[in-house]
Amino acid sequence: MTTELAREHEYETQDIMLNMGPQHPSTHGVFRMVLTIDGEVVRDVVPYVGYLHRGAEKLCETMDYRQGIGFMDRTEYLAAFNAELSYVQAVEQVAGLEVPDRAQWIRMILCELNRLSSHFMFTGAFGTDVGVFGTAFTFSFRERENVQDLFEEVTGDRMMYAYFRPGGLAWEVTDNFEQRVHEVLASSRQGISDMDGLLSDNEIFLARTKNIGIISAEEAIEWGMSGPSLRASGVPMDIRKDEPYLKYGEVDFDVVTGETGDVFDRFRCRLDEMRQSVRIIEQCLQRLEPGPILPDRMPRMLRVPPGEAYVRTEAPRGEYGVYLVSEGGNRPYRLKIRSACLSNLQALRDMVIGNYIADAVIILGSIDIVLGEVDR
Amino acid sequence: MTNDGANGDGGDTEADEAAEREAALARTIWADVDRALSGINASPEPGALDLIVTIPKAEVVRGLRVLKDDEQLNFDYLRNLTAIDHQADGITVVYHLYSTAAKHNVTIKAVLPNGDLAVDTATTVWKAANWLERETAEMFGVRFNGHPDPRALLLPEDMTDTFPLRKDHPLAEIEALQGEGMAYAVEEE
Amino acid sequence: MNNDLFGFEINIWLDAAARMGLITGVMTVVVMGLIYIERKIIARFQMRLGPTRTGPMGLMQSLADALKLVGKEDLRPAGADPWVFELAVYFVFVPVFMMFVAIPFALNWEVRVLELGLFYVVAVSSINIVGLVMAGWASDNRYAMIGGLRAAAQAISYEIPLVLALLAVAMVAGSLNLTEIVAGQGRVPLIVWQPLAFAIFYIAMLAEMGRTPFDIAVGESETAGGPHIEYSGIRWSMFFLAEYAALFLLCLIASAVFLGGWAWPLGEDLGRGWQFALTAIKTGLLIFSVFWVRVTMPRLRIDQLMSFSWKVLLPLSFVQILVNGLVLVYDWPDLLLLATGGAGVVLLFVVIDRGVRRPRPRPAPLAAAESEAVA
C-alpha cells in the first residue's frame, strides 16, 4: 500500500477519494468532507460546509430586534441561551440598556446550564464516534434531558428558548426555579462522573484518543480556534475570565486547560469545564435575589441609536460573537455572527492529515461542531 | 457604556466634541496602536467596546501585519472578519483583532469604494482569515487578492453573480421565486 | 455414529437431513431470541426499556422485524456485480450453519460426531470472510470496500490466535473430537488448565465475530455498515442471522471446550435435560459477557487491532503451546499449566495496560502506512 512497497514490487497504487457526508452517521449534521485516502491513511481532506445555510444574518436585517432573538436560537441550537446572550448583549451595548442584577444572574445560570447540556451532548456523541454502542449517548442524554426539562419549565421550549430580551428576560422564572436547579446540578454531577468512569479510564478510549489530532497552541491561535478546543492546546483563553461579562467577574472558577492539544485533552477539557460550570451555578444561586428582570422603562418598540459593537461571549464551543451595526431604527443595519465552530473547523485539515480514517471521525467529533452555527 | 462621541448629537460645540473624543481615545490603546502604525495613514474612533481604527485599503494588510508583529500589541488572534455594505459609500471590510497575551482588542476597518471592491488577503497574516474571507467574498462580492482558496464557502458553487448580504439584494423577491403564492409583501424601509 | 436422535433407526441421509433441518429451524428461532435478549439487555445497560410494545414484553419484536425485512425491497446498486453481490450472502450464511454439525449440545446430541470436530469447526468458520470480501467488493461502494478489506485483514489476523488457542487446548485434552473434549472435562474444566488460551480465544472470538471492540468492518461511525451498506431486506437480514448464529456458535464452542460443556460439574450421569441446561447456562453467560463488552467498549483502530493480534496474542499463544508441549512431553505436574497460564493472563493485561498508557508520538503518515501493509 505504501508507495515504497509498491515501487519495490512494481504494483500500481492509487489514492481513492472517500466522500464522507453530508449523510453519514458521524458528521454531526450535514457536514461533508472529501477524504483522499491511501489505504486507511488520510492524505488530504477537503471540508464542505453550507448545507444548513439559512441566511440568518440577512434575515435579522429585515426583522426588528426582538424577532432576531429567535434566529440566534436556530444558529447555535445546542446552546441557544449562549447565542441569545451574545445577541441581546450586543443590542444592549449599542442601545445603552442597563440590565438589572437579577436578570444577569439568571442569565448566567441558564447559560452555564446550557453549557452543561451542550457538553453532555458532546460526551454522548463523542462516545458514539469512538465506538461505544450508544451507552455514552444514553447516559449523557439522561442528564441532558434533566437540564432540558428545566429549560422547558422556565421558557416553555426545549431548544428554541427565545427567553432573553434586550434589557433582561422575557418573564420571571418559575417559583421553584432554585430548587429545580439544585436538583439538576445534583444529577449532573453524577452524570459527569459517570462519563468519567465510562470513558476517561477505558484503555481502548485512551489508546484511541491520546496523541491523535494534535494541534499546537500557536497553530490553534493562528487558525482562530476558541473555546475548549483552543484551551485543550494549553491556551488559557476564556472570555469569561479575560473580558468578564454578566457577573463572571464576581464568581470564582478556574479556566481548564489541556497540555498536548490532542483529542483526549479536548474531551478532558470539556468534562472538567462542566465541573466548573456546576461551581459557577452554585455561586450564582447564592447570589440570586428577588428584583426586577427588566429595566424600569422599556419602550414597546426598541429603537437603537446608530453605533456598532462586537460582543463576544464564551459559548460552549468557543467564542460566539455578534457584530451589530445600527444606523438607527428598529432593525439592525448589519448583523454578523462570528461562529466558533466555523473557525475551529478550519483547523480540521491540519489535524486530520496523516491519521487514519477512524481518527478523522473522532477528530471531527472532538471539535464538537454544530452545523447550524457553522452555516448560520 | 461609552458609545458617545462617535455620533455627537446634541448641542455640543465642536471643540467640546473634539475634547471628549480625545478623552475617549486616551482611555483606549490608541497611543500604542498609533505608535505601531507609524507611517500608515490611520484614523481612530472610540467604539462602544473596542477602539476602531480605519486604515486605507491599500495599506490595511501591512497595518494588520504590523499590529500582529508588534511586541507590545501582539494581536495574534483574528476574532472576526466581515464586511458592511454602506451602499453608496462602498463596502467596509472589518477586522476584529485580539491579543491572547495582552488581552486587548482593536477593530480595523478598510473602506472599499464601489468601483474597486478588492483588498489584499489577510490569510498571509492569520490563517484564520481563510474561511472568513471566503464567506465575505461570496456574500458581498469583495475580492481578496491572493487568497489561497477562493471558492464559495456557504453558497452553491455556481452562485457567482448574487451577493446575498448586499443591501441591494432583495429578500422578498427571492422568497417570491420559491413558489406561487408564497411571496411576501415587500416592506417599506 | 449415533443414530438414536429420534429414538429409532432411520435412513442415514434422511437422518442427516432431519438434523440439519432441525438445526436451521432452531437456530433461526434462537437468533431471533438472541436479538430480542440483546436488545433487552443492552437497553437495561443504557437505562432504556427496549422493545415493549410488540406482544407481551415486546417478545414479538424480532418476529415483526423479520417480517418487515422479508417484505422490504431487495435492492441492488446499479454498479454492483450482480452475481458476486447476491452470492456473497450465502458465503457468509452457509458456513456458519455448517459449523453446527460438530457441536455437542448434550451427550450424544450433535448432528454428527466428527473425529476432527475442532479442526472442522475452525476450518469452516473461516469461509465467511470470503463472503464479506465479496460483499464489500461487489457493492460498488467505497465504504463497503473499505469495510470488506478491513474484515478480511481482521479475520485473517485473529484466525491464527484463535486456532492456536484451540490447538493448545486440544493438546491438553488429547483429542480433536469435540464430544471427547467435553466428556473429558467431567471433573475439572479446561479453563483451569488453560486460562491464557481461554483469554486469547475469547478476544479472538470477539474479533472473529466482528463485535465491539473489534467491529471496525461494520462500525457505524466510520464505514457506516461496511460490507452490509448496500444490502437491504432479506439479504441484509441473512447477514444479521449469520452474525448472531456465529455469536451463539462461538460461545457454544467456548463453553464446550473451556467450560466443560454439558459435562462439568454434573458429569455424564445426569439426564439430557440437565446437560442441555448446563450448556445453555454456560453459553448464555458467555453471550451476556459479549453483550456487556459491546455496550461499554469503544472501538479499536485498525492498526491497533492488527498489532494487538500479531504482537501480543500470537506470541502469547505460541508460548502457551510451547509450555503445553513441555509439560506433556516431560510429564510435569498439571499445576504448572495453571501457574503459567495464570501468569500469561496477568502478562496479557499488563501488556494491554502498558501499551495504551505509553505516550506515543504522532504516527508519521508514511510510517503509519507501513504498518498498514500487513493488512
Residue A4 lies in a domain: no
pLDDT at C369: 38
Q: Which residue has the cell 467574498?
A: B137
User: How far is the alpha carbon of A16 from chain B, nearest alpha carbon, in Å?
Assistant: 22
- Answer yes or no: do A62 and B103 touch at CB < 8 A: no
Cβ contact, residue pair A354, C297, below 8 Å = no
**Phi, psi of A47, deg, nearest 5:** -80, 145
User: Edge to edge, what strands does the sheet with A32-38 contain?
Assistant: A16-20, A32-38, A41-48
What integer is the mean pLDDT of C125-137? 86
Residues 309-368 of A with CB under 8 A from C: 353-359, 361
Shortest CA gap B168–chain A (Å)? 12
What pLDDT score was predicted for residue C313? Answer: 86
Count of other CB atoms within 10 angstroms of residue C203: 23
- What's CA A373's distance to the chain center, in Å? 9
Using CB atoms, which chains have 3+ pairs under 8 A with C?
A
Residue C56: predicted pLDDT? 85
Query: Where on the phi/psi map is residue A286: left (φ > 0), alpha (ψ -120 to 50), or beta?
Result: alpha
Give how far B11 is from chain A: nearest CA, Å.
17
d(CA A369, CA A85): 19
Cβ of residue C370 closer than 8 Å to a chain A Cβ: yes
Strand B105-112 relative to strand B51-54, pairing: parallel
In one-letter notation, the amino acid at residue A208 is R
So what's the pLDDT on residue C173?
A: 82
pLDDT band for position C368 (cuts 50, 70, 90) = very low
Interface test with A, best of C42, C46, C353 (most A CBs within 10 A): C46
Q: Taking the domain B13-113, which CATH number applies?
A: 3.30.460.80
Whether C329 has its CB under 8 Å from any CB of chain A: the answer is no
pLDDT of residue B172: 58
| CA distance to A212, C186, C241, C243, C288, per residue, from C111 (Å) | 50, 22, 20, 21, 26
Write A348-352 long-range contacts (CB < 8 A, 24+): A348/A33, A348/A45, A348/A47, A349/A44, A349/A45, A349/A46, A349/A47, A350/A215, A350/A219, A350/A223, A351/A213, A351/A214, A351/A215, A352/A35, A352/A42, A352/A45, A352/A213
Q: How far is B49 from chain A (nearest CA, A)?
A: 6
Average pLDDT over residues C267-288: 81
* Shortest alpha-carbon distance between residue B169 and chain A (Å): 10
**Chains A and C physically touch (3 or more Cβ atom pairs below 8 Å):** yes
Q: Quick one: average pLDDT of A36-42?
A: 84
What per-residue confidence (pLDDT) applies to A5?
Answer: 64
Query: Locate cell 500500481: which residue?
Result: A12
Query: Which three cell numbers mark A303?
Result: 429603537
The Cα-based distances of A112 to A107, A136, A182 in angstroms read 8, 22, 13
Q: What is the pLDDT of residue C374?
A: 34
Looking at residue A211, its amino acid is: N
- Look up the domain containing A193 and give its range: 12-375
In this complex, which of B77, B82, B100 lies closest to A336 when CB atoms are compared?
A: B82
For the domain that residue A369 is a member of, what is the CATH number?
1.10.645.10
The whole-chain average pLDDT of chain C stands at 80
**Contact call for A325 and B50, based on CB within 8 A:** no
Average pLDDT, stretch A256-273?
A: 88
Average pLDDT over residues A188-201: 85
pLDDT tops 50 at residue A1: no
Taking CA A114 as the corner, what is the angle to CA A109 and CA A119, rounded to the nearest 5 degrees?
130
Tell me how crowded residue C290 is: count the other CB atoms within 10 A of its CB.
Answer: 20
The arithmetic mean of pLDDT across residues C343-347, rounded, is: 83
User: How far A159 CA lies from chain C's nearest CA (Å)?
Assistant: 23
Q: What sign results for the dihedral spanned by CA atoms C142, C145, C150, C153?
A: negative
- Give the integer Cα–Cα distance in Å for C19 and C2: 12
The separation between the first and the last C-alpha atoms of chain B, rounded to the nearest angstrom, is 29
Using CB atoms, pick whichever of B79, B132, B155 lies closest to residue A53.
Answer: B155
C positions 93-152 inside 8 Å of A (CB): 142-143, 146, 150
Long-range contacts of C351-360 (CB under 8 A, 24+ apart): C351/C312, C352/A203, C352/C308, C352/C312, C353/A203, C355/A207, C355/C308, C355/C312, C356/A203, C356/A204, C356/A206, C356/A207, C356/A210, C357/A206, C359/A210, C359/A211, C360/A210, C360/A211
* Residue C299 near residue C212, CB atoms below 8 Å: yes
Residue carrying the nine cell digits 443595519: A333
Judged by CB atoms closer than 8 Å, whether chains meet at B1 and A96 is answered as yes
What pLDDT score was predicted for residue A360? 87
**In degrees rounded to 5, what are phi and psi of residue B6?**
-70, -40
A96: left (phi over 0), alpha (psi -120 to 50) or beta: left
- Residue A72 scores a pLDDT above 80: yes
Burial profile A254-270: b = 16 or more Cβ within 10 angstroms, e = fewer:
ebbbbebbbbbbbbbbb
CA–CA separation, A45 vs A36, rounded Å? 6
Average pLDDT over residues B90-116: 87
Size of interface A-C (CB pairs under 8 A): 139
Instruction: Give the residue among A188, A189, A170, A176 at the shortest CA–CA distance from A84.
Output: A170
B 153-182 → A contacts, CB under 8 A: 153-156, 164-165, 169, 171
Strand pairing partners for A37? A16, A42
CB A118, CB A152: distance < 8 Å: no
Dihedral sign of CA atoms A91, A93, A99, A101 in order: positive
Number of Cβ atoms within 10 Å of the Cβ of C351: 16
Q: Is the pLDDT assigned to residue C375 strictly greater than 50?
A: no
Are B153 and A334 an interchain contact pair (Cβ–Cβ within 8 Å)?
Answer: no
Residue B131: its chain A contacts at CB < 8 A? Answer: 342-343, 345-346
Place of cell 437422518: C15
Mean pLDDT of B6-30: 68
Highest mean pLDDT among A18-22, A265-269, B162-166: A265-269
What confidence tens digit (pLDDT) does each residue in B39-60 have? 777 777 777 778 888 888 888 8
CA–CA separation, C27 and C161 (whole Å):
27
Neighbours of C328 (CB within 10 A): 14
Residue C354, pLDDT score: 74
Where do the H-state alpha helices sit in chain B?
A: 14-26, 30-36, 60-69, 129-140, 171-177
> How large is the average pLDDT for residues C276-290?
86
Tens of pLDDT, residue by residue over C24-42, are 888 888 888 888 888 888 8
Rounded Cα–Cα distance for residues B38 and B33 (Å): 9
Model confidence pLDDT, tens digit, residues A203-241: 888 888 888 888 888 888 888 888 898 888 888 888 888
pLDDT digits (tens, 9 = 90+) for A299-313: 777 778 888 888 889
* Mean pLDDT, residues A110-134 taken together: 88
Which residues does chain C have within 8 Å of residue A19's beta carbon, measured at their own beta carbons?
142
Element (DSSP H or E) covering residue B76: none
The residues facing B111 across adjacent strands are B92
Interface test with A, best of C140, C297, C302, C353 (most A CBs within 10 A): C297
> Measuring CA to CA, how many Å separate B156 from each of A267, B162, B163, C197?
34, 11, 12, 59
State the number of CA atoms in the 13 A half-sphere of C152 facing the CB.
16
Residue B78 clears pLDDT 50, i.e. is over it: yes
* Residue A5 counted as domain residue: no
The string of pLDDT tens digits covering residues B131-187 is: 888 888 888 888 888 888 888 888 888 877 788 888 877 765 554 444 444 334 444
Assign C367 a pLDDT band (cuts: 50, 70, 90): very low
With 60 as the cut, is the pLDDT of residue C358 above it?
no
Nearest CA in chain B to A224: B128
Measured between CB atoms, does A375 come within 8 Å of chain C?
A: no
Put simply, the answer to whether A333 touches B84 (Cβ < 8 Å) is yes
Interface test with A, best of C221, C295, C366 (most A CBs within 10 A): C221
Q: Say if residue C4 is exposed, middle or buried (CB neighbours under 10 Å; 0-12, 13-18, 19+).
A: exposed
Answer yes or no: is pLDDT of B7 > 50.
no
Please report, to the nearest 10 degrees, the dihedral formed by the alpha carbons of residues B132, B135, B138, B143 taken in order: 0
What's the total number of domains in chain A? Answer: 1
Percent of the residues in chain A that have a pLDDT greater than 90, as a whole number: 6
Give pLDDT tens digits for A299-353.
Answer: 777 778 888 888 889 989 888 989 988 887 778 888 899 888 888 888 888 888 8
Q: Does C2 touch chain A (CB under 8 A)?
A: no
Confidence category of residue A3, pLDDT binned at 50, 70, 90: low
Distance CA C22, CA C6 (A): 12
pLDDT, position A51? 87
Taking contacts as CB-CB distances below 8 angstroms, the residues of chain A near C221 are 25-26, 128-131, 361
Does some domain include residue A2? no
pLDDT value of residue C357: 59
Task: Name the amino acid, one letter, at B23.
Answer: A
First to last CA, chain C: 42
3-state secondary structure (DSSP) of residue C78? coil
Within a 13 Å sphere around the CA of B47, how many CA atoms are in the beta-carbon half?
Answer: 26
Does pLDDT of B5 surpass 60? no
Q: How many CB atoms lie within 10 A of CB B146?
A: 12
Residue C231: which pLDDT band, with cuts at 50, 70 and 90?
confident
Does the residue A287 lie in any domain? Answer: yes
Please tell me the predicted confidence (pLDDT) of residue A7: 67
Give all chains having 3 or more CB-to-CB distances under 8 Å with chain A: B, C
In angstroms, the separation between the Cα of residue C215 and the nearest Cα of chain A is 9
Instruction: Find chain C residues with C-beta within 8 A of A134's C-beta.
Output: 42, 46, 295
- Which DSSP category does C2 fall into? -
Q: Over pLDDT 70: what percentage of chain B?
A: 83
